[in-house]
Amino acid sequence: MAETRVGVLGCAGRMGQLLVREVAAADGLALSGGTETPGHEALGQDVAALAGLEPCGAVVGDDPADLFAKTDAVIDFTAPGAAISHANLAAQAHTILVVGTSGLEAEHEAALEKAGRHTPVVIGASMSIGVNLLLGLVRQAAAALGPDFDIEIVEMHHKHKVDAPSGTALALGRAAAAGRGVDLGQVKDSGRDGLTGPRRVGDIGFAALRGGDVTGEHSVIFAGTGERVELGHRTSSRQVYARGAVRAVQWAVDNREPGFYTMADVLGFSER
């Protein structure tokens, strides 16, 4: 059986190199190339060698369209601003697209969902298997505990992270809101400062901490009268995200039906 050709967008960055190494180590997958921004020093270099592996013969380019055209699947952990163009390229080339980019907004997800009419598209606020299990637990807890418990979501990441709250924190908020049967947009509170007054009943609060080299920590607190329930997850290595992304590629190859999927579908947690 032929190997599935996999390309990595943003392949020279820390996450990109982890993805390259994970793809190279996976059964049934082969590196087909990678991209970086025009003028980047990695352009023209061997994708595998750049990540400290034996050369594979595929080089780093600066044209995402070329990568989509010559590969079976593409992994994207780049930036939200590129999501729409990458979605369009995936749809045109009928290339599997796995997106682990944090900070996607409604317009980005809409473009990716549209691309799913033509090819398998898998997104994840987090590609971690543990985080996706946590999402299911949070939804169940929110439904079981009800409105008598206030919900607060606390996340911490390294000082270089540019978005807040994190995509994973927002996904946890959506899971909690779904458990309560409400829209997160109507109950989200992430801007407390000064004299804010009493906490509004039913709100889901967010706190974003930044510092050092923290890979990722998330806690969901259900605070009731006289008791408190906490669910959480800590990441000690970014490798878990690369591992999850590769698992999503393998699942999409086996599934192969066009559609807009999440990691819950990949891991069998989806309620759809």
Catalytic residue set: 157, 161
55: which 2 tokens?
Answer: 């050369």
User: 150, 223 in Cβ contact below 8 A?
Assistant: yes
SS3 268: coil
Q: How many angstroms separate the CA atoms of 144 and 159, rounded?
A: 35
- Residue ranges of alpha helices (H) inside 38-181 are 47-50, 64-69, 83-93, 106-115, 129-145, 167-180
- Residue 66 makes CB contacts below 8 A (sequence gap 6+) with 33
Rounded Cα distance, 175 and 161, in Å: 23
Cβ contact 2:28 at 8 Å: no
Q: Which of 153, 143, 104 is nearest to 126 (CA)?
A: 104
Angstrom distance (rounded) from CA 121 to CA 261: 6
